[in-house]
Amino acid sequence: MNKVTITPLELCSMMLLFLTGSTIVVGLNFSAREDSILAIAMEIGFGIALSYFYLYLVKRSSWKEFVPLLELGFGSLPAKLFAIVFSFYFLYIASRVMNDFAFFTTQLIYPDSPKWIAAIPFLIVVGYCIMLGIEAIARSGLIMTAFLLVIIAALWLLGFFSEEFQAEYLFPLFAQGWEPLKKMIFPTGLTFPYGELVVFLVILPSLNKKEKLTKVVWIPVVTAGLIIMITMELIIGILHAPFANTYYFPFAKAMELVTYLGIVEHLEIFTYLLLLGGGFMKVSVFIYAAQAVLTQLFKLKQKSWHVMVLIASVYLLSLYRSEDIAEHLYVGLKLVPYYLHIPIQFALPLLLGLVVFWRTRKKGSAS
């Protein structure tokens, strides 16, 4: 593979978009009602620990690329098998995020339009950016992060100071005990979005100034968590917690209700821009990671047609069990966390980390 360089700032911007973009628009969970923000606060701590674990794993292997890292941990043949598993996982999750974008577009922006109307143009833009390389994805992330922060701050101000926001809806806190919090946190809260940072195992070796990463990798995780928490408080204050979970897109619905003097209205269009930027980053990172893993595995030079094949694969995978948004969300919330997220985000990396630690223990003690 060609030598690529990403700065820590670019990586942090990618992580921030990755964690927030689709989450605050289509991935919010209000099952704990008013206590939902308490669950998010606990998940932030888990996200920090997980990001440092992934970083430690790559550092311990002397910043090896992903397939050599798997070979260090599992040996040649199992590493090839696991590389294919991770590639399929990255492509499948990319297809699910693309579906989030497509369903949002065809339900709120272009009602009753077929899903491919949104999906195919979106994937074409993603594919073009991937062909330009990870540096192009990272640098576009800096620009989109600036837009994300401006848009989300404006929506917060308009929402919190609107007549529709009722502060009494935010209370009481911790009135239902621990049980709703536990159900919200495990497994969905742990696996989405923080567990999906496993994809950055592929990207971390591309960084320059690697020594600085330990000091800053927590910043996008905490910032994303705070953005999610504040957004959830805004939604609860407008929709009321018992009703927030009844909407597929609660943030968009909350902003739709916000009006000023009958002139400023339909603010939900700006949530579409958040999903557009965040979804673009998330799908791009997943598909790029799949391409990088397969390129390392089969020792190929990167070609444009490789990206086209992966884009087509993502679209085909998006058709599986996603006839409507209800089925899409059922699969994503009830099946994927148990059968895909937990094994691939936690079980395999933990096993890999233990083996890598054991095999490099002499080197670690010497240093």
pLDDT category of residue 333 using cuts at 50, 70 and 90: confident
pLDDT tens per residue, range 283-297: 999 999 999 999 999
Tokens 């950016």: give the residue.
Answer: 129
In a domain, 200, yes or no: yes
Predicted model pTM: 0.95
pLDDT tens per residue, range 183-201: 899 888 889 999 999 999 9
What pLDDT was estimated at residue 72?
Answer: 94
Mean local confidence (pLDDT), 311-319? 94
Q: Which domain holds residue 240?
A: 8-360
In a domain, 284, yes or no: yes
d(CA 298, CA 324): 37
| Helix/strand/coil for 6 | strand
Supply 236's token pair.
């609860």
Q: Is 365's pLDDT higher than 70?
A: no
In a domain, 2, yes or no: no
d(CA 325, CA 333): 12
C-alpha distances (whole Å) from 135 to each of 33, 64, 289 are 41, 19, 13
Q: What ranges in 105-188 are assigned the alpha helix state H?
A: 116-132, 134-160, 179-184
C-alpha distances (whole Å) from 231 to each of 144, 152, 290 are 19, 9, 31
In contact, 130 and 291? CB cutoff 8 Å: yes
What total of structural domains would you count in the chain? 1
In a domain, 270, yes or no: yes
What pLDDT was estimated at residue 363?
Answer: 64
d(CA 126, CA 35): 37
| Closest by CA position to 336, among listed 27, 55, 103 | 27
pLDDT category of residue 137 using cuts at 50, 70 and 90: very high
Q: Is 3's pLDDT higher than 70?
A: no
Tokens 């096993």: give the residue.
Answer: 351
In a domain, 1, yes or no: no
Supply 190's token pair.
């742990």
d(CA 227, CA 53): 23
In contact, 295 and 306? CB cutoff 8 Å: yes
In a domain, 3, yes or no: no
What pLDDT was estimated at residue 367?
Answer: 47
What pLDDT was estimated at residue 285?
Answer: 97
In a domain, 367, yes or no: no
Count CA atoms closer than 13 A to 60's CA, side-chain side.
Answer: 25
What pLDDT was estimated at residue 364?
Answer: 56
| Closest by CA position to 108, among listed 253, 240, 221 | 253
Mean local confidence (pLDDT), 87-112? 93
> Distance from first CA to last CA of the chain, Å, rounded?
29
| Helix/strand/coil for 177 | coil
In a domain, 333, yes or no: yes
In this predicted structure, which of 56-60, 187-191, 255-259, 323-327 has the lowest mean pLDDT?
323-327
CATH code of the domain containing 12 = 1.20.1740.10
What pLDDT was estimated at residue 282?
Answer: 96
